[in-house]
């Protein structure tokens, strides 16, 4: 059975095994995705200067993961892994491109599975997997409702003149000419609140894809400050550079609105049966005048966005579900974005498609690690600045910066900052990782490796 045939048969599937979803009615799923938020940018992950009380409260009321990973180190492939349950060795989208490379009809996404399982579905914010009219447009990938940007380059602008609502362009008159009155992030929050307040007996899947704290790259190149925000909030009187005031203000603004979303869940009686997942699509950026070292955005980790070191791919991951997850937990369980789809399938009580790289991590979320299956390894590849690969194998991490470069080896238990390459002392581990790097991927016509990539493999980086 191929992935498209899977969808046609999904409605006939019966709930599987002892899935938590079968113990009561199906849970609502709320995914909040930040953009370029680093591992160290939140108070609950060690940040001291940026105020994030609502996200910190979310962590205190659920489980905070310390070893969770994005799908990639830039936007589009990371979101593809999240949507399709495949890592970047098998995913259709393995890098940023302009125009976006759309998902194909056979690329089954999480919203398609949940919609067939009886969920109402919505995507609000940024989508990098297919523009209007393409096979990857959200309304063709299982989302009942979409409000957001035209593509990921358009998403750099926090004061756009147009946004898409389903198939129509919505004019934002407050942003015409030199006006800057309608901040896109604020509009996304209002649409999310409208969705949560709607009266509907069906369970819901709501994906809120904020662009905070991504820079407006073009504005940053023109002015030196691309951290676009209506005001500097509690940071207006600090002696920080303007881009850093803006960076902090963006995160605190997002935190404020996440608090509004959580309050709305409670006010509408949906809090107990809603699993809330908050994370980021990759590590922190050095764009728009922002210096990731200013707030120590990658915390104790090495690297930033576009690196396959931990700082580029290890991300904040917080999960709250009051009726099923005990509060105040911190988990070292290792998982990645491609686990999201099979986890959602189990939440909905149905089988996921075959051939995924991801596994359901529902038992880990529910505080039952002894029952949780673990990955043999995690794999990433990245096609900008050469062809780089990374493998997480237990506590070992292998990184290769190009095909003609040696594999670096780090023990993440002893050296989470990846400062000490111990490859020479462990040739057996290096050999295992090299084998995984060969076998964990298939060739891609859009991201070839070897000689062919010198021409065909060069793609425009959208900065997403």
The string of pLDDT tens digits covering residues 403-417 is: 999 999 999 999 999
Per-residue pLDDT band at 8 (split at 50, 70, 90): low
The pLDDT of residue 300: 98
Burial of 101 (0-12, 13-18, 19+ CB in 10 A): buried
Weakest mean pLDDT among 242-246, 367-371, 376-380, 434-438: 367-371
pLDDT tens per residue, range 56-84 = 999 999 999 999 999 999 999 999 999 99
Coil, helix or strand at residue 286: coil
pLDDT at 21 over 80: no
Whole-angstrom distance, CA of residue 190 vs CA of residue 183: 11
Which secondary-structure segment (H or E) carries 432? helix 427-439
pLDDT band, residue 464 (cuts 50/70/90): confident
> Cα 395 from chain centroid?
23
Which among 352, 355, 396 has a CA at the least distance from the CA of 377?
Answer: 396
9 pLDDT more than 80: no
Q: Which candidate, 282, 243, 254, 223, places its Cα nearest to that of 464? A: 282
Q: Note the pLDDT of residue 367.
A: 81
Q: Say whether 300 sits in a helix, a strand or coil.
A: coil
Which of 100 and 196 is assigned the larger pLDDT?
Answer: 196
Residue 455 vs residue 188, higher pLDDT: 188
pLDDT of residue 43: 98
Average pLDDT of the residues of the chain = 93
Q: How far apart are CA 105 and CA 204, in angstroms?
A: 23
Q: Tell me: the pLDDT tens digits for 256-314?
A: 999 999 999 999 999 999 999 999 999 999 999 999 999 999 999 999 999 999 999 99
Spatial distance between the Cα atoms of 424 and 426, rounded to a whole number of angstroms: 6
pLDDT at residue 99, rounded to an integer: 86
Give the 3-state secondary structure of residue 60. Answer: helix
pLDDT of residue 6 exceeding 90: no
Tell me the whole-structure pTM to 2 decimals. Answer: 0.94
Q: How confident is the model at residue 11 (pLDDT cuts 50, 70, 90)?
A: very low
| Residues 102 and 113 sit within 8 Å (Cβ to Cβ) | no
Q: How far is CA 83 from CA 78, 92, 127, 262, 336, in A?
A: 9, 11, 11, 24, 12
**Is residue 13 over pLDDT 60?**
no
**% of the chain residues with pLDDT over 90:** 89
Asked whether residue 146 carries a pLDDT value surpassing 90, the answer given is yes
Q: What percent of the chain has pLDDT over 70?
A: 92
Give the residue ranges of DSSP H helices in 339-406. 340-348, 362-365
Which helix (H) or strand (E) is 316 found in, with range? none
DSSP string, 123-151: EEE---S--TTSTT-GGGTT-SEEEE-SS
Q: What is the mean pLDDT of residues 147-172?
A: 97
């Amino acid at each position: 059975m191929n992935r498209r045939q899977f969808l046609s048969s999904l409605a006939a599937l019966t709930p599987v095994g002892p899935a938590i979803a079968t113990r009561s009615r199906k849970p609502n799923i709320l995914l909040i995705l930040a953009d370029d938020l680093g591992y160290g940018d939140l108070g609950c992950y060690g940040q001291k200067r940026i105020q994030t009380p609502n996200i910190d409260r979310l962590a205190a009321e659920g489980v905070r993961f310390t070893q969770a990973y994005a799908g990639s180190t830039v936007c589009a492939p990371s979101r593809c892994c999240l949507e399709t349950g495949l890592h970047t060795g098998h995913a259709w989208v393995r890098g940023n491109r302009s125009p976006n490379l759309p998902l194909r009809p056979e690329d089954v996404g999480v919203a398609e599975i949940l919609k067939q399982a009886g969920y109402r579905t919505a995507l609000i914010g940024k989508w990098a997997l297919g523009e209007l009219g393409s096979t990857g447009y959200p309304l063709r990938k299982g989302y009942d409702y979409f409000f957001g940007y035209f593509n990921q380059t358009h998403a750099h602008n926090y004061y756009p003149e147009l946004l898409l609502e389903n198939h129509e362009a919505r004019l934002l008159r407050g942003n015409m000419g030199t006006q800057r009155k309608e901040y896109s992030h604020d509009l996304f929050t209002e649409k999310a609140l409208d969705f949560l307040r709607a009266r509907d007996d069906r369970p819901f899947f709501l994906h809120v894809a904020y662009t905070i704290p991504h820079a407006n790259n073009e504005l940053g190149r023109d002015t030196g400050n691309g951290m676009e925000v209506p005001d500097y909030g509690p940071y207006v009187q600090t002696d920080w550079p303007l881009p850093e005031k803006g960076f902090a203000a963006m995160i605190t603004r997002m935190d404020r609105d996440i608090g509004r979303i959580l309050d709305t869940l409670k006010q509408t009686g949906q809090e107990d049966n809603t699993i809330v997942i908050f994370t980021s699509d990759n590590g922190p950026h050095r764009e728009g005048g922002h210096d990731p070292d200013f707030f120590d955005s990658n915390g104790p980790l090495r690297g930033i966005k576009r690196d396959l070191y931990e700082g580029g791919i290890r991300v904040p991951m917080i999960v709250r579900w009051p009726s099923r997850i005990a509060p105040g937990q911190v988990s070292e369980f290792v998982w990645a974005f491609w686990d999201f789809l099979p986890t959602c399938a189990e939440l909905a009580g149905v089988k996921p498609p075959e051939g995924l790289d991801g596994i359901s991590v529902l038992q880990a979320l529910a505080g039952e690690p002894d029952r949780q299956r673990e990955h043999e390894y995690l794999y990433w590849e990245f096609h900008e600045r050469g062809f780089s690969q990374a493998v997480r194998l237990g506590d070992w991490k292998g990184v290769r910066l190009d095909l003609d470069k040696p594999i670096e080896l780090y023990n993440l238990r002893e050296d989470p900052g990846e400062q000490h390459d111990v490859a020479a002392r462990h040739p057996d581990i290096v050999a295992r990782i090299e084998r995984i790097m060969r076998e964990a991927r298939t060739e891609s016509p859009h991201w070839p490796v070897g000689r062919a990539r010198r021409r065909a493999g060069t793609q425009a980086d959208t900065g997403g």
